[in-house]
């Protein structure tokens, strides 16, 4: 029986070939203590049996919601393939070594932007952000840009993964994987 991870790998490989932009884009849904849901697009930066990893400013709205309720849902929608994958589970913060290693692969401007941005907070004018960005360029000129202490990654360990494929006349195919401990079970869902 395939695992949700092996099936994800196969579908993701196809998406990387067929999707024109950001095949690793996924919707991330979170909710804070008030229960109000919020969804936004983020980029998948790692995946496997250990979970699904993305990175963000830990002072952002999404990170505050994760701190209050460390559960989330992910959605990959690959229109060119007429497929989607829904993933639900618990989030944990990646370790510093993992966050540092990924941060080092980002473009210098992206690294500087992580220092300059107070993500999700009110901004009085674009010029304010641009001035902060220029200040960070000057601060780190001639050297490496270290990972800011408020920037890291999260790993979603799935408990539920659903694979959806479009079918003629809306007779779609849905496969559901659910985890109990270390064991995955697979079933079908009505379209």
Catalytic residue positions, numbered: 170
H helix or E strand, kind and range, residue 27:
strand 25-31
**Nearest one of 29, 55, 30, 39 to 113, comparing CA atoms:** 55
Please give the Cα distance from 121 to 22 (Å, whole number).
Answer: 26
Phi first, then psi, for residue 76 (nearest 5°) are -105, 130
Strand bridging mode 46-48 / 173-180? unpaired
Residue carrying structure tokens 């869902």: 189
**CB-CB neighbours of 134 under 10 Å:** 12
Q: How would you class 6 by CB atoms within 10 Å of its CB: exposed for 0-12, middle for 13-18, buried for 19 or more?
A: exposed
The DSSP symbol for 67 reads H
């Amino acid at each position: 029986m395939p695992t949700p991870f092996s099936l994800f790998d196969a579908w993701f490989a196809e998406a990387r070939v067929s999707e024109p932009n950001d095949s690793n884009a996924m919707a991330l849904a979170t909710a804070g203590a008030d229960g109000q849901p919020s969804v936004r697009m983020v980029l998948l930066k790692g995946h496997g049996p250990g979970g699904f990893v993305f990175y963000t400013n830990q002072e952002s709205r999404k990170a505050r919601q994760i701190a209050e309720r460390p559960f989330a849902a992910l959605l990959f929608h690959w229109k060119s393939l007429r497929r989607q994958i829904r993933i639900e589970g618990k989030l944990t913060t990646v370790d510093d070594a993992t966050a540092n290693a990924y941060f080092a692969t980002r473009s210098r401007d992206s690294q500087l932007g992580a220092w300059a941005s107070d993500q999700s907070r009110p901004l009085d004018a674009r010029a304010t952000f641009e001035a902060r960005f220029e200040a960070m360029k000057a601060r780190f000129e001639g050297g490496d840009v270290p990972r800011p202490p408020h920037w890291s990654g999260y790993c979603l360990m799935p408990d539920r993964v659903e694979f959806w494929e479009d079918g003629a006349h809306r007779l779609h195919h849905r496969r559901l994987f659910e985890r109990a401990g270390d064991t995955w079970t697979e079933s079908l869902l009505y379209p």
